[in-house]
Amino acid sequence: MEFDLSGSKDGILLVDKPAGWTSFDVVAKIRGQIRRQYQEQGIGPTKRQLKVGHAGTLDPFATGLLVVLLGDATKKADEFLKLDKVYEATIRLGQTSTTGDPEGDIIDVSDNQPTKSEIEAVLATFTGEIQQRPPAYSAIKVNGQRAYKLARKGEVVDIPERTITVYSLELLSYDYPMMKIRTHVSSGTYIRTLAEDIGQALATGAYCVELRRTSISQWDVQAASSLEDFGITS
């Protein structure tokens, strides 16, 4: 599959990001493919033609819908960031992670095995408007620097709580220590933090093992292309 270089499309690409890739990796690879495509036509691309961005970071361990913007569409990034999103997440009970995901140091917390009813009761308390403190390992800027960079240096990162909205939170499956949820949330919601807060409410500890973004507003991952569709491999 080639990228449309005619300018006839709206400059929006829906990509199903694989695990192990950063959002920036995807953007850089797509930019490289576009450059090669122009060069194969004997054209030296302009900076505008090579302008590629994304509308909402996915963590490296996460998969799913990444909206990639091309050319002038990059100016609309802020509009996408404000949109609601749907995620599916697998959460591991009984342990915590320093980063809230599999990439951190794992710490055993409890061997208590909550019942399905107990889990569903706790999940119900996390719907509606709630307060959430974004994780230290995030791309939020603190005093002009990315929070995760400060956290990696061992510095204490203090990010204030914010109000988010969890429109729905559904338990898809549960087989201790793993539970899988689907949640529809407002922009600015961190699913890693939601998993940790659920674990704290259950008194078991928890962290996010797998995370997949399935939709952003009206855009669905089922309509997304894989990187291999564009001839992009690791």
Domains of the chain: total: 2
In a domain, 34, yes or no: yes
Domain that holds residue 198: 85-216
Low-confidence ranges of the chain (pLDDT < 50): 6-8
Q: Which residues pair with 96 in a beta bridge?
A: 107
Q: b or e along 180-199 (b: 16 or more beta carbons within 10 Å of the residue's beta carbon)?
A: bbebbbeeebbbbbbbbbbb
User: What is the pTM assigned to this prediction?
Assistant: 0.89
Query: Tell me, what CATH number does 23's domain have?
Result: 3.30.2350.10
Which tens digits make up the pLDDT trace of 17-70?
999 999 999 999 999 988 988 888 888 888 888 899 998 889 999 999 999 999
Catalytic residue (choose from 10, 16, 59, 175): 59
Decide the pairing of beta strands 63-70 and 85-93: unpaired
Q: Is residue 174 part of a domain?
A: yes
Specify whether 4 is catalytic: no
Residue 100 and residue 45 share a domain = no
Residues 43 and 91 in one domain: no
Q: Taken in order 76, 79, 81, 84, is the CA torsion positive or negative?
A: negative
